[in-house]
Structure 1
Amino acid sequence: MIFCFYDESEIEHFSQDLLDSDYWQSNNKVVGTAQGRGTTWFIEVDNKQWVLKHYYRGGLIGKFNKDSYLFSSYENTRATKEYELLNQLRALDLPAPKPIACRVIKNGLFYKADILTERVCNAQDLISFLIKQAVNADLWHKIGKTIKAFHDHNIYHHDLNIHNILIDDQEKVWLIDFDQGEIRTDSTSWKEENMSRLLRSFNKEKTKLEALHWQANEWDLLMTGYTSE
Structure 2
Amino acid sequence: MNLARFVKHSKLNLFKEGNITCLYEQELLPDFCLEMFDADYWQNKDAVLGKATGRGITWFVKHENVEIVLRHYYRGGLIGKIINDSYFFTGIMNTRAAKEFELLAQMNKVGLPAPKPVALKINRSGLTYQADILIELIAGATDLVGILSKSELPESLWIEIGKCIRQFHQHNIYHHDLNAHNIMIDGDNKIWLIDFDQGKEMETAGHWQQQNLQRLLRSFNKEKGKLPEFNFTDKCWQLLEQGYQG
TM bin (shorter chain): over 0.9
Residue 115 of structure 2 aligns with which residue? Answer: 97
Identity %: 50
1:35 match: 53
Cα shift at 1:47: 2.8
**Which of 101, 104, 112 lines up with 1:83 in the alignment?**
101
1:177 aligns with 2:226: no
> Is residue 2:246 matched to residue 1:223?
no
TM-score, normalised to structure 1's length?
Answer: 0.97
Q: Which residue of structure 2 aligns with residue 22 of structure 1? A: 40
1:181-207 deviations in Å (ceiling 9; x for gaps) = 110014511001000000000011111
Structure 1 ranges of 4+ moved more than 6 A: none
| Residue 133 of structure 1: aligned partner | 151
User: Of 61, 70, 73, which residue of structure 2 is paired with 1:55?
Assistant: 73
In structure 1, the residue matched to 2:23 is 5
Q: How many residues align?
A: 228
Which position in structure 1 is the counterpart of 2:164? 146
Cα distance in 2 for residues equivalent to 1:219 and 1:69: 37
Report deviation, 1:21. Answer: 1.4
CA distance in 2, matches of 1:36, 1:147: 24
Residues 157-199 of structure 1: CA distance to partner in whole angstroms, max 9, x if unpaired?
Answer: 0000000000011110000000001100145110010000000
Q: Report the Cα offset of residue 7 of structure 1.
A: 0.6
Identify the range of structure 1 (77-86 vs 184-193) with the bigger mean alpha-carbon deviation: 184-193
Residue identity matched to 1:70: F
CA offsets 1:72-130 (integer angstroms, 9 cap, x no match):
11110000111111000000101000111000000011110000011001110000010
Counterpart code for 1:221: L
Task: Provide the C-alpha distance between the structure 2 equivalents of 1:147 and 1:32, rounded to a whole number of angstroms.
Answer: 28
Partner of 2:62: 44
Note the residue ranges of structure 2 that are not aligned, 5 or more in a row: 1-18
| C-alpha separation in 2, matches of 1:187 and 1:155 | 9
| Offset from partner CA, 1:23-78 (integer Å, 9 cap, x none) | 11122111100111111100012132111000111111111111111111111000
1:116 maps to 2:122: no
Q: 1:188 maps to which residue?
A: 206
Q: Distance in 1 between matches of 2:205 and 2:82?
A: 34
1:204 equivalenced with 2:222 (yes/no): yes
Unaligned runs of at least 5 residues, structure 1: none
TM-score by length of 2: 0.91
Task: Measure the CA separation in 2 of the matches of 1:133 and 1:113.
Answer: 37
